Structures are given as C-alpha cells and as structure tokens.
Amino acid sequence: MTDVVTQAPAETALEPIYRRNFLWFLIDGILFMVALNMIGATTVIPDFMRNLTNSEILIGISGSIFDVGWTLPQLFVARYIVRATRKKWWFVAPNIPARFIIVIFAGILFFLGKDQPQLILVVFLICYGLLGVGDGLVGVPWADLMGSSLDNRWRARTFGLMSASTGVIMLVMTQLIAYILGNTAWPFPTNYTVLFALSGILFVLSILPGLFIHELPGGKPVEKLTSLSEFLPQLGHVLRTDTPFRALIITRMLTSLFTMAAPFYVGYATTQLGLSSEVAVPNLLAMQTIGNILGALVYTWLGARDNALYIRLALGCAALLPISALVAGVVGPAPLYFGFLMSGLALSNLFFSYQNWVVSHAVPDQRPIYIGLFNTISAVISFAAPFIAGTIVTTSGYSPLFAVAILMVLAAFYMASRYITNPKPQTTSVSG
C-alpha cells in the first residue's frame, strides 16, 4: 500500500524555506548535470577514449571512474561531519576547487595537441577521477542538506524537475555536440577541447547556487569522534540489523554490475553495427535524453507518492537496453535507439530514487553514516565492474557482456520487489 504523506503544521511553516531551497538545489543540479551529460560517461567519453586507446578495460574504466571517485570518500567524510551541526559549508567549500577541474583539463588538452595521445589519456583519467573524488567529498553533506532542508515532497520534485530540465536542455546540446564532433575544421582533439571547455564553464557556474541554500537543522552532532575500532563495528551493526537498508545496498551493487556494460554500447554501435561516431554519439545521446525527460516527469509525480514502486519500475525497464542491443546485432541498429530511450527513462532518476530512499529511511542523527555507508560499499563493485566488463568483451565479445547485464538487472529487480518498501515520513523542526 502506498504511504500517504500528510503535512504537519510545522511543515507548513517551513514551506517558504522549502520553496527557496528547491530553487537553489534545482539550479545547482541542472548546471552540474548538464555539464556532466555533455561529457557523458556512456556516449562522449567512451568515444573520446577510443581515439586514445584500443584497450577495452581502459574504456570500461573511463565509464566507471567518476562513480568510483564519487563513492569512495563518502564513508570517510560521513565519519567526520557527524560532529558538525551545520553541513552547508562542507558542501560549498570543496566545490570551489573540484568544479574547476574540467576547465583546467580543456586547457591542458589544448596545449598537448594530437601528438601525445598517451599523455592525454593519463591526464584525462587523473582529472576525471579527481572530478569524481571532489564530488564525492561533497556527496554526504549535499544529501544530508537535502534531507534536512527539503521535505520528501520537495526532494522528489527537485530530483524529477532537475532531470526533466536537464533533459530538455540536453536535447539542444546534442545538436551542438553533433556539430562540434562533426566539424571538419576542428579535428581531434580540438573538437573535444571545445566540448570539455563548455562543460567546464557550466561546472564552474554550478558553484554559485549552493551559496544561497538556507540550511535547516538536521541531526544532533556527536560530541566526540569515535575511533575506527568503535566506528567499524557500528557499521557492521547497521548492516546486520537493518534488512531493508541491506537489501538496497545489494540492489545498488547489482545495478553497478548491470551498468558496467554502459561504456560499451557506443563501441558496439560503431564497431559491430556500422554506425560512425558522428552519427552514433549524438543520436544515441538524444534518444537517452528524451528518455531522461520522460523518466524525470514520471519520477516528479511518482517519486513523491511511492518511491519504492518507482525503483521497481525503473529496474524493470532498464533490462530493455541490453536486450535491445542483442536484438540489434540480428536486425540492425534501430532497436538500440529504442534501448537508449528506455534506458534514459529508467535510469535517469534511479540513483536519485536510491538516494532519496536512504535519506528518508535514516533517522537524522544517523543520516550521514547511512549515506556514506551506502555509497562507499557500492564503490567496491563500481571499481571492479570495468575490469569485469573489459575482460568479458576482450575474451568473449559484446553479446556475453549484455547477457550478464540482463541477469544483473533482473536480480536487482527481484531484491527491490522482495525487500524494499517506502520508509515512514519524518518530521522537521521549525527552529533554526
């Protein structure tokens, strides 16, 4: 049964603050996501990497390196920010250096030129990894800030409209990306230099909205930082005793094993289905973006009402991407376009829905620990996934990888259907 969320008097008093925070979170998210999607991990970056290396493992790593960098530091950060009453500046301050990284890489790429592909490869992996780590440092305070300064309704609206708005903008951007990559006056790497520079400018602009967020009180700070010998058993206790949370972690790990195939669909399209990069990259990105918009609209409505149902529906639809890829190998590339459409619809808000579930499930005092634990455990699989995927492609080809992806997403669907329900809504204090 769907949980019915009623609005208490205290929540009504906070409504003007929620509205303003919604606006600033939304602007921050749109700028960041457009910047990130312009150098998409499943489209643009794998194609960029294929201009630098033939290693399928390195191409696979390029699709996961941001996710690994984003998740790894979060448990470390969570252990420290539980001492802080306010989390806003834990979010804002690290953004300032982190979101300059892609602009800096664009400058380095401009000076290196086309004659040093190995050096470009090393610099890119370092810079892209640092971008992920930088975002990982702010991931826990950002999610805690979302938990304390927006209620469940406004969080779902923020996530949904963030994705929908990003999708609409990316429909225009895909045409710009197609022009940049296909412009004969800008041969490689000049075309990618322009693309990274535009993305980097948006990353820098995304620093500003966080300055205006009005932080509301969250959990009570701990008086003393626990030692690792005390901290680690606490984490083990959470995993042993909280069955729904443990199930969500397993679901998230299975999702990572499903998405390990993501960097290889474009390579499959260009090497097996006969599409050129100038056709495959912008067109597949456009189909994914249309799906993102549709999925975001669905989540804006459904996420506030039944987040757990959205998770199940998204995982079910996600299985259509590897299935369509296998069908495309028989009948031609058309089904792959449909798969990218459904992938965008299914996955555009899946990780947001995971995050929203954790934020809603954890009590405020424990929220940073839950967020950090959830994301850091996921990093283990995210780190291993590209090696697994690259090895499968190198030794057996694309089709076995897509078959494994289908099994992983179906297993994730089972876990979500069997063990994950909506958390009970929590109230927020008016004070502060």
pLDDT-based confidence at 55, cuts 50/70/90?
A: confident
The domain locations on the chain are 9-419
* pLDDT tops 60 at residue 291: yes
* pLDDT tops 80 at residue 360: yes
**pLDDT, tens only, 166-175:** 888 888 888 8
Task: Give pLDDT, residue 426.
Answer: 55
Helix-strand-coil percent breakdown of the chain, rounded to 5?
80, 0, 20
**pLDDT, tens only, 310-327:** 899 889 888 999 999 999
Reported for 241-247, long-range contacts at CB under 8 A and 24+ positions apart, including other chains, are 243/419, 244/361, 244/419, 244/420, 244/421, 244/423, 245/358, 245/361, 245/362, 245/370, 245/374, 247/415, 247/416, 247/418, 247/419, 247/420
Closest CA to 200 of 110, 118, 282: 110
* pLDDT tops 50 at residue 160: yes
User: What pTM did the predictor assign?
Assistant: 0.70
* CA 262 and chain centroid, separation: 13
- 388-408 average pLDDT score: 92
Which of 264-273, 291-300, 328-337, 391-400 is predicted least confidently?
Answer: 291-300
**pLDDT, tens only, 218-267:** 666 656 666 666 666 777 888 888 999 999 999 999 998 898 888 888 88
In CATH, the architecture of 9-419 is Up-down Bundle (1.20)
How many other CB atoms are there within 10 angstroms of residue 125's CB atom?
A: 16
Most confident of 24-33, 130-139, 148-157: 24-33
CB 218 within 8 A of CB 367: yes
**pLDDT, tens only, 181-222:** 888 888 888 999 999 999 999 999 999 999 999 988 766 665
Q: What is the Cα–Cα distance from 386 to 146, expressed in whole angstroms?
A: 31
Task: Give pLDDT, residue 226.
Answer: 64
Residue 400: asked if its preceding bond is cis (omega within 30°), the reply is no
pLDDT-based confidence at 28, cuts 50/70/90?
A: very high
The residues, ordered by sequence, that sit 6+ positions from 266 with a Cβ below 8 Å of its Cβ are: 42, 43, 46, 47, 277, 280, 281, 284
The dihedrals phi and psi of 145, each to the nearest 5 degrees, come to: -65, -40
**pLDDT, tens only, 113-125:** 888 889 999 999 9
* CA 329 and chain centroid, separation: 28
Closest CA to 215 of 90, 365, 95: 90
Q: What is the mean pLDDT of the chain?
A: 83
Task: Give pLDDT, residue 4.
Answer: 42
**Residue 18, H or E segment:** helix 15-38
Q: What is the Cα–Cα distance from 352 to 155, expressed in whole angstroms?
A: 10
**pLDDT, tens only, 70-111:** 777 777 777 777 667 778 888 888 889 999 999 999 999 999
- 355-361 average pLDDT score: 86
- 338-359 average pLDDT score: 83
Closest CA to 109 of 189, 205, 175: 189
